[in-house]
Structure 1
Amino acid sequence: MSNKTFNVYCDESTYLEHDRQPYMVYAYVSIAYNQIKLAKEQIKCIKQRHGYGNEYELKWTSISEKTFPLYKEIVDYFFMTDMNFRAVIVDKSQIDNNRPEYTFNDFYYRMYFQLLHHKMDMESTYNIYFDIKDTCSQGKLHKLQEILKWNASIRNFQFIKSYESHFLQIADVLMGAINYHLRIEKQTLEGKNVGKLKIVDIIQKHTKLPLNQTTLKCAKKFNLFFIALK
């Protein structure tokens, strides 16, 4: 019998075909079940220290110079804990809708399979939570359950609203930083969000890793996988 249970909070960014964004990113934050209560209280305290109520939703899009101190402490807190982050990224220009196995419709499920498949310890159990996006979410949930049914370690699949989970919000922030860094790498500093640039820099200092390439497969705390289709 498993002696550890983990909650895994999954989110996706710029995954639509015509959103004019170059990368598709899927990511999760995982946390041991027995650490959830304490982490919730600590995140609540961080928000309060910066003048935000517990109901304030952490979002990458909300980062600015004004909100930077809050998000800096949140990112620092993540790296102090046993929480883990993983993301899979694909250059959308490589997706060919003429290839049946590489259409945009198919990629939603392929990406989640890649995200979850390689990091599941079969001696542990997992509760998987997805950020609900649209009215099609229940159909997507059933298909994800079908695709991942082989994995007996997964105990529960569920869609939740991002405002309901601090951990889903942290996944959004870290994933947003990866996506932002990839998009603005070759741009000038003019017009860039200084708060967001600082958050990217903080993540790089914590990880001591470039954010534009695949990490070692064994990387546990902060794991990136860039999928090459060509």
Structure 2
Amino acid sequence: MFYIYCDESCHLENDKNDLMVLGAITCPESLKAKVNQDIRYLKTSFGLSSWFEVKWTKVSAGKIDFYKRLINYFFENEFLTFRGVVATGKDQLDHDTFNNGDYDLWYYKMYFRLLDPITPSVNKYRIFIDIKDTRGGAKVRKLQEVLCNHKHDFNHEVITDIKQIHSNESEIMQLCDLLIGALSFYHRGLYFQDNCSQAKRILVDEIKKLSKLSLNESTPLWESKFNLFIWEPREGTKVGVML
């Protein structure tokens, strides 16, 4: 059994961002408790409360050594894997033509691209998604239906469960928030601004160094440690563009 922790950034339809970032960290069930305990220990070893919630928005110069150590912890433990989807052109999509006028349908398509490649039917999975809004319950039920139907997993023997949790309930979820925050910071162009947070730029550089990736391009599917998919809309799916 594998546990998968998912988080999202810039996921709202009208948030004035031109991209959405989704991320998922996979951890064997047998090691889940150890990872959460290890991260809580890291917090206290840097003078933070064990209940301190790791968030990209909290990254600062004063805590940069802690956050760098946390990024290194992820890359040091090969049983932890990450897949990120950066969906670009979000503000240009023609949902009326291609998604039955429903932004949420596109949202499910992106979550499918995030999760389907990392949930082969040879294993079993429980998936946890960070609570974002009150409509999330219906969303996760639909997501499980879509994933399971594609795998012919009609009895939910592969994708056994998808549920929402608060990020403060799981250190692994908090680590996922950190990784997708870095991807969002980089792909929204904030990384390249002269007045950007230097602490956040340092963390992005640490991820680039340890992953040996530029973060600009998709990785091969077989790249399991830090897998990245950059989704771009086809020209015909944009508003105002004829097929």
Give the structure-1-normalised TM-score: 0.93
Instruction: Work out the CA distance in 1 between the residues paired with 2:200 and 2:160.
Output: 36
- 1:1-230 equivalences under 5 Å are 5-81=1-77, 82-91=79-88, 92-101=90-99, 103-150=102-149, 151=151, 152=153, 153-184=158-189, 187-189=192-194, 191-230=195-234
Instruction: Work out the CA distance in 2 between the residues paired with 1:28 and 1:126.
Output: 12
The percent of aligned pairs where both chains have the same amino acid is 34
CA contact (8 A) 1:215 1:225 kept: yes
CA separation of 1:133 and 1:80: change in aligned 2, threshold 3 A: same
Comparing 88-97 and 121-130, the one that deviates more:
88-97
Q: Provide, for residues 50-91 of structure 1, a one-character-per-residue CA deviation record: whole Å limited to 9, x for no partner.
A: 111121110000001111111111100000112001011111
CA contact (8 A) 2:17 2:91 kept: no
- Helix, strand or coil at the partner of 1:71: helix
Instruction: Work out the CA distance in 1 between the residues paired with 2:196 and 2:27.
Output: 32
Instruction: Work out the CA distance in 1 between the residues paired with 2:191 and 2:57.
Output: 20
CA contact (8 A) 1:11 1:130 kept: yes
Q: Provide, for residues 130-184 of structure 1, a one-character-per-residue CA deviation record: whole Å limited to 9, x for no partner.
A: 1111111111122112212234311111110011011111111000101101122
Q: Provide, for residues 95-134 of structure 1, a one-character-per-residue CA deviation record: whole Å limited to 9, x for no partner.
A: 2233232742212211111111112121111010011111
- Helix, strand or coil at the partner of 2:215: coil
Q: Which amino acid aligns with 2:30?
A: N
CA contact (8 A) 1:95 1:104 kept: no
CA contact (8 A) 2:23 2:85 kept: yes
Q: Which amino acid aligns with 2:144?
A: Q
TM-superposed CA distance for 1:15, in Å, is 1.2
How many residue pairs get aligned? The number is: 225
TM-superposed CA distance for 1:216, in Å, is 1.2
Give the structure-2-normalised TM-score: 0.88
- Structure 2 residue ranges without an equivalent (≥5): 235-243
Instruction: Work out the CA distance in 1 between the residues paired with 2:35 and 2:138.
Output: 32
TM-superposed CA distance for 1:186, in Å, is 7.7
